[in-house]
Amino acid sequence: MKTTHLQGLIAAPFTPFDANGQLDCSRIPEYYSFLKRNKVTGAFINGSTGEGVSLTLEEKKAVAQAWADCSNHDADFKVMVFLGGTCLNDCIDLAKHAYEIGLYAVSLTAPFYFKPANVEMLAQACIMVGESVPNMPLYYYHIPVLTGVNIPMFDLVQALDGQLDNFAGIKYTHEDFMDFQSCMSYKEGKYDMLWGRDENMLSALVLGAKGAVGSTFNYAAPLYHDLIAAFENNNLTKARELQQKSINMIRLLGKYGGISVGKSYMKVTGLNLGDFRLPVKNMTSSQFEAFQKDVQSLDFKSFKSN
């Protein structure tokens, strides 16, 4: 099958929960409209930012259905669903569901409990899941900081080439620029390489990246649109300044507890999507007050999503 190389900013949405920590899919149509207003071109749902590994199988399907219901009419907004990785039969179940409800693509990461011993075993896992939805693009999700599986993606691309017709490319959330460029160059750019480190976007643009998937695109898309425009206009001084703003913003995630801080940024934009589930730590009310002051010092309002 012929696959499209995606372009622009693809957000990794947070999963909305109510005050009791239960799934609240009623917020997703508003979320979709919010992303569209900020010129985001797609959504990577149920991933790391979306707490996919903390959702039940039924919850994952409910989230996927909600995004399909509100966005399937929109050819300019592609939704890709993360399948997980520890139980491949569950991944196949979720992939078939995604195909049935009309989502654009699926994404698989390495099994991260029983880890593949080598690239051949990882390729077999991808083939097993990909062949269950032969008419749907499958992207591999490379995030070794969370999976503990750091097999070079250039090796995986070569192992899957000609073996899995619907293998579309890689969501690359790692810092190995040599490996990333080798994948991009393979067979004159045959595979779609989506950059996944927001704080290093400028470096990926230099290597030719055209599409990116990121959590901070949820709440700071205008910043990245400006960064891309500055790069394309060869205004590298401005591009570096904007990348530094991104870095300063992302540093607050480390200061206040990690991935859950993204939902606090969303509260500042006006979208309250609830807290993260255990074992992720959420801010206390006093920490949120301090966080808001730090956010104000970033001049966040000048580049936040609206």
| Per-residue exposure over 283-294, b if at least 16 CB sit within 10 Å of its own CB, e if not | beeebeeebeee
Is 140 assigned a catalytic role? no
Q: And the tokens for 35? A: 């992303």
Q: Pick the catalytic residue: 60, 61, 78, 171?
A: 171
d(CA 246, CA 257): 18
Q: Which two structure tokens, joined as six digits, stand for 82?
A: 């993360």
Q: What are the angstrom distances between the C-alpha of 40 and each of 10, 16, 113? A: 6, 18, 33
Contacts of 237 (CB under 8 A, 6+ apart): none
State the Cα–Cα distance between residues 210 and 196, nearest whole angstrom: 12
Catalytic residue, chosen from 141, 191, 219, 265, is 141
Tell me the C-alpha to C-alpha distance, in Å, between residue 240 and each of 178, 203, 234: 21, 10, 11
Residue for token pair 């301090």: 290
Q: Token pair of 250, please? A: 């992302």
How buried is residue 22: exposed, middle or buried, by Cβ count under 10 Å (0-12/13-18/19+)? exposed
Phi, psi dihedrals of residue 284, rounded to the nearest 5°: -80, 170
Q: Checking DSSP bridges between strand 192-195 and strand 138-142, what pairing results, if any?
A: unpaired
Concerning whether 141 is annotated as a catalytic residue, the answer is: yes
Q: CA-CA distance, 154 to 263, in Å (whole number)?
A: 34
**Looking at residue 181, what DSSP letter applies?**
H
Measured distance CA(167)–CA(192) in Å, rounded: 9
Active centre residues (catalytic): 141, 171
